[in-house]
A and B are shown apart, each in its own frame.
Chain A
């Protein structure tokens, strides 16, 4: 630019841009500040915002390809350290910070992301106790989603073989760190669910740094775990490591070995349990038999069964009773009859004509007919006179009639 000349706005902006782009000091810089006016462009997915401090501000943009790698979600008011370059947006003549990477100032980005996701899922109720599915007591098929090469798979197999060899182990090898870890874990959980291939799933890995354990803090993994119909035991890292996966899982195991223990009963305990139940079965039957025996002996001790003679005697007594009352009835009838007969006989006796003859009276018959009236005979008739003792055959001399 030796002589003054008139530039178009575009020429000016292009020139400024070339100067700024050419300054190596601005090609890779770290800038700290507070995010404001944050917009997540709904169509392109690019982030646009302003970074500011107490006194000034600078426009910033983070393209989708870069912001997809962020573990946390930027928010207004958040203090961040951004890494990027300065360039010019020629259309507006505006210089901007083009951000490649960014992390929260203060906390590490991962810690920050962890807290954010934890709060989000907690608010959705994904950690609620009432969402937790029961771990089956006697699983037949245990799905194990972990690295095929890590110590975790060996620990799990060792514990399962010792405790409950009855269960079949179904392995699904996945990467447990790096960018493909989360999608592989999600896929494995979904594949197990698709065919109901297991009764319980153990998802996990051995210990590592927060970065190495990160897949288990991914939202996609958390959602796959909480969406699993098969109960999930989370077993990530060591006792002190907590991951989002631990919170959404139906059961958290402090280590992979512990997960295997939590998933299964102990075979020796099972054996003694079965023995105990067998004993209880037998005892119940013995109790029942004793009970029935007591019932039987109570019945046997009843008088009816102890002396049948007595029972017969009592029947006999009753029978005798009936007989004697029958007899009494009969006797009464007979003696009543006798009395009546005696009365009637004495009455008859008093009426007997022979008794009258005994007192000196006589009976006179004519031709066999008892005479009551003297007029019934004529003088000269033959009559018969009966006395108390003997008879007289007489001829009537005369008749004295009585009117």
Chain B
């Protein structure tokens, strides 16, 4: 599975908030969305809290040395 990114997560969270605020979903789905939204918010927060600046060189990406370079 692809690694969850901050950007994707926060976009999904924004969508969920929008859907929830429209109030058009049945209760079960609302609760499910709420649960998912909360998880995403926790994930995003932890991304920010745990972020440590990483600096690498382009040349290392090109030679594939950097293990976490997707």
Interface residues of A (CB under 8 A from B): 136-140, 143, 157, 160-161, 164-166, 168-173, 188, 191-192, 195, 197, 267, 270-271, 274-275, 277-278, 280-282, 284-285, 287-289, 291-292
When A172-B58, A192-B58, A292-B27 are in contact, do A281 and B20 touch as well, CB less than 8 Å?
yes
Of the candidates B23, B53, B59, the one having the most CB atoms from chain A within 10 angstroms of its own CB is: B53
Q: Could you say which interface size class chain B belongs to?
A: 35 or more
Q: What 4 A-B pairs are tightest by C-beta distance, nearest first?
A: A284-B20, A172-B58, A165-B51, A138-B7
A278 engages B41 (CB within 8 Å): yes
When A143-B58, A168-B54, A287-B23 are in contact, do A282 and B7 touch as well, CB less than 8 Å?
no
28 A-B pairs within 8 Å (CB atoms) are namely A138-B7, A139-B7, A166-B48, A166-B51, A170-B56, A171-B57, A191-B58, A192-B58, A195-B62, A197-B58, A197-B61, A197-B69, A271-B45, A274-B41, A274-B44, A274-B45, A275-B41, A277-B14, A277-B17, A277-B37, A278-B37, A278-B41, A280-B17, A281-B20, A284-B21, A284-B30, A288-B20, A288-B23
Interface residues of B (CB under 8 A from A): 5-7, 10, 13-14, 16-17, 20-21, 23, 27, 30-31, 33-34, 37-38, 41, 44-45, 47-48, 51-59, 61-62, 69
Which residue of the partner chain A has the closest CB to B13?
A277
A282 engages B56 (CB within 8 Å): no
A288 engages B57 (CB within 8 Å): no
Give the A-B pair count, Cβ closer than 8 A.
104
CB distance from A286 to the nearest CB of B (A): 10
B30 engages A288 (CB within 8 Å): yes
Residues of B within 8 A of A277 (CB): 13-14, 17, 37, 41
Which residue of the partner chain A has the closest CB to B7?
A138
When A274-B13, A292-B27 are in contact, do A281 and B41 touch as well, CB less than 8 Å?
yes
- Contacts A140-B6, A197-B62 given; 7 further ones with Cβ under 8 A? A138-B6, A164-B51, A171-B57, A172-B59, A195-B62, A281-B38, A285-B34
